[in-house]
Structure 1
Amino acid sequence: MQELQRRREQARRAADEQGWAALLVTPGPDLRHLTGYDAMPLERLTCLVLPADGTPTLVVPRLERPAAEACAPGVALVDHPDGADPYRLLAGLVPAAGRIGVVDAMPAAHLLPLQDRLPGVRWERAAPVLGRLRAVKSPAEVDALAEAGAAIDEVHRQMHRWLRPGRTEAEVAADIATAIRDAGHARADFVIVAGGPNAASPHHSSGPRELQVGDPVVVDIGGTMPSGYCSDCTRTYVLGPAAPPDFADYYAVLQAAQRASVAAVAPGVPAEAVDAAAREPITAAGYGEAFLHRTGHGIGLDTHEEPYIVAGNAEILREGMAFSVEPGIYLAGRHGARIEDIVVCTGDGVRRLNTTDTGLVHL
């Protein structure tokens, strides 16, 4: 409870600094971060009202009150029955004029009725403010991410059970999704199995193509743990003893780039410098145009959150920031490779939360 109170006070101070009269948070990771309540997103309104000065209040549908009472300690609860006007109720909890921050997750179906009832309010996005707060993880959050990392590592260690010539990507993906849950996740969030030419598509959807001897196979997998914290890890495999011509050479470049990028992580380093550490050796080897995406993204209660490890982001890394380091090389129509670890910026450098070998694995 103390940790949740600390987060709400931190958010309240940040809202006050923005000049907001209140902060409104509907179901999603922000609400779970501030209250511990993993509320279902419904057509019925659930919303945390965090005023600049006053008691935090959670507005919930009456039928959801027992779940909210069990999961959201330290906030006042106000419920509304079916047939009542929850927007008039919520409007009575905030000033009728001024500026109010609202999370991106609030649907238009809820925001528009509030705008009708509060015409004097100026609505502003809260995501930039809450994103900065959530980007720095507490020790307990790092422990939760480490648990998620260990669970997804266990799935990668079993990849020999499923990756075989003659099986389709979709068949392998279904087995991996089951294994993600068996390894301790509450759910599997995504499974990318991309073999042969499909490995050149970073967000390929696992499909009917049968895996073949000699295929490079990119396997990008992740899930959500019962704690709410996410895993995300990518490894590249080759089916059989021989890789395609030039694949091993550019994989070695990729592995060196990923190591250099991880090594660049430290407090005080700009996020864009970590991206550059991965991009420079890949470009120098002639594959710069084949590195199609940013080097990384933050992770926590969302798989993708701040900070983003990308050119142009001068944000300074701080102790407790957790994010992926995942450079890739993709040769359209041929094959591709990606290596991804989740890392945490520590007081004196970096900690990898995924510990399986990043070398090329032949199955």
Structure 2
Amino acid sequence: MYKFDYKSRIRRYQSSLKEEGVDYAIHISAGNVRYLTGFWGYATRAEYSEPGRLTCVVVPQNGTPLLVVPKIERSFADAATKGLSVEIEHHVEWTTKDEEKDPWKLVRSFITRTGGSKNSCLSIERSHLTERAIQPIEDAFDGFSLVTGSGVLERHRDIKDEVELRLLKGCGELAAGMFNVELEAIKQGGCRECDVAMAGWRHNVLTCAECIESMTDNDLYVDSPIGMSAQLLTSGPRLSRAHGTASTRVIEPTDLVAIDLCRVPFLLGYRIGFGRVIAQRPLKSTEQDINATVKKSYELGVSMLRPGTDVSEIDAAVRNVLQKGGLGDYIMHRCGRTTGIESEIRMQEGVHRKLEADMVLSFEPSVYMDGFQSRIESTFRVTPDGPELLTPIPEQMIIA
């Protein structure tokens, strides 16, 4: 069974707040709200960081947290947090004497009635918020000590527990299953890119539904088997589009096809990254050289996926191989990120975080050009003995 221990997550986080001297932590980012309470709703939409439809969780150093949601999400919040000791308050989008319009008044009232005062230290996710979202917080807590959150909760999220590791391994198997379904659709011929993506999507939804029904309590029907993102899939002349969603283009028999399951394997709210390029024709000599260089960068990077390695060093090493191979102009993005509820640590220049055991990351050195793409994206668990592959498909260009 997949059952998340939200109570232990909250207790652990409260211990961290005590060590830091923070009396109340206010979290608005959808990933953090979900990690602590199990609730998400539409909270990934930008407007849910702003007062009109604000969603946030307020965690005191001691005691019961408060979850604030717009009224439209109240029923979902009640169901998602069943069995968890958390207060829930909702706000409305109109003026009424019986319900609060200003969500920050609800937060301030909670803080004052649980012993907080202007001497209390409040942490907020300043780096996640726009000025439009920050200003109402500063207005509501004028005179309070507002500090920027230290990121300790995000660091808790980085290290996966036993349930998360099992779930992410399941996501890897789901991605492999989706890929094989889509590969078979391509081999059949005559499909549009969107037809191929739909075949994989159907497999994804049915597999996720089976998991929800067999591996969760599912008594209140909180979890949906339907993911939240369109699949990236390009072919032929569209291969230069790193973020090209599946179109109505008919895949030709001699096309290369890039399948990218960046956010589609969505099992109980957890995501991984996975991608392969399928070749339906022999590669030209120049393409073979490009592919060999990308494979070399991939193998070097994978060898560095061990506890203690700085993620920026991995990105630099990968880019160095690609640049020395004359491919620098065709690099479109960083080499990867850690994964889970959301993309978490960016593996890129300037991000100096060291890998730790039981992090899960997506690794994807890639180049994109007109009519050709070379990329291998896999998800790994970091272990003291080296990276464990969670996406069981050969780590190479796939020959159809």
Which TM-score applies when normalising by structure 1?
0.86
Supply the distance in 2 between the matched residues of 1:347 and 1:120 (Cα, whole angstroms): 47
Q: 3-state DSSP class of the match of 2:208?
A: coil
Instruction: State yes or no: 1:121 paired with 2:160.
Output: no
AA matched with 1:205: T
CA distance in 1, matches of 2:324, 2:128: 41
The one-letter amino acid paired with 1:33 is Y
Deviation string, structure 1 residues 61-96 (Cα, Å, up to 9, x no partner): 677556444432342324347532243232122245
Query: 1:14, CA displacement in angstroms?
Result: 3.4
1:5-56 CA distance string (max 9 Å, x none): 2221332233445543311234722112112233443655543210124432
Aligned length: 359
Structure 1 residues 106 and 295 mapped into 2: Cα distance closer, same or farther (>3 Å)?
A: closer
Q: Partner of 1:320 in structure 2?
A: 358
CA RMSD of aligned residues (A): 2.9
The structural deviation recorded for 1:358 is: 1.9
Where does residue 79 of structure 1 map in the other structure? Answer: 89
Structure 1 residues 63 and 282, CA, compared in 2 at 3 Å: closer, same or farther? closer
Say if 1:286 and 1:33 are closer, same or farther in 2 by CA, change over 3 A.
Answer: same
Out of 56, 61, 64, which is 1:47 matched to?
56
1:228 maps to 2:265: no
Q: CA deviation at 1:142?
A: 1.0
2:259 aligned with 1:219: yes
CA distance in 2, matches of 1:361, 1:192: 17
Q: Secondary structure at the match of 1:214?
A: coil
Paired residue type of 1:218: A
| Letter of the 1:238 counterpart | A
- Alpha-carbon separation, structure 2, partners of 1:64 and 1:291: 41
1:1-363 superposed matches below 5 A: 3-26=5-28, 28-41=30-43, 43-60=52-69, 67-72=76-81, 73-80=83-90, 82=92, 83=96, 84-85=99-100, 86-94=103-111, 95-97=116-118, 99-103=121-125, 112-121=135-144, 123-126=146-149, 128-163=151-186, 166-184=190-208, 186-188=225-227, 189-221=229-261, 222-239=263-280, 241-302=281-342, 304-306=343-345, 308-331=346-369, 333-363=370-400
Structure 2 unaligned segments of length 5 or more: list them: 210-224
Q: Is the 8 A contact 2:23 2:61 kept in 1?
A: yes
2:305, 2:71 → 1: CA distance?
47
Query: What SS class does the counterpart of residue 79 from structure 1 fall into?
Result: strand
Q: Counterpart of 2:191 in structure 1: which amino acid?
A: R
In structure 1, distance between residues paired with 2:131 and 2:265: 27
**Structure-2 change in CA distance of 1:105 and 1:187 (3 Å):** farther
Does the 8 Å contact 1:12/1:50 carry over to 2? Answer: yes
**Distance apart, 1:258 and its partner CA:** 1.4
Paired residue secondary structure (1:247): helix
Q: 1:300: Cα distance to partner?
A: 0.3
Take 1:81 and 1:267, find their aligned partners in 2: how far apart are those partners?
Answer: 44
Amino acid at match of 1:100: L
Do the aligned partners of 2:74 and 2:90 also contact (CA within 8 Å) in 1?
A: no
Instruction: Name the TM-score, length of structure 2 as normaliser.
Output: 0.79
Ranges in structure 1 where 5+ consecutive residues have no aligned partner: none
Cα displacement (A) at 1:330? 1.9
Contact kept? 2:69, 2:91, Cα under 8 Å: no
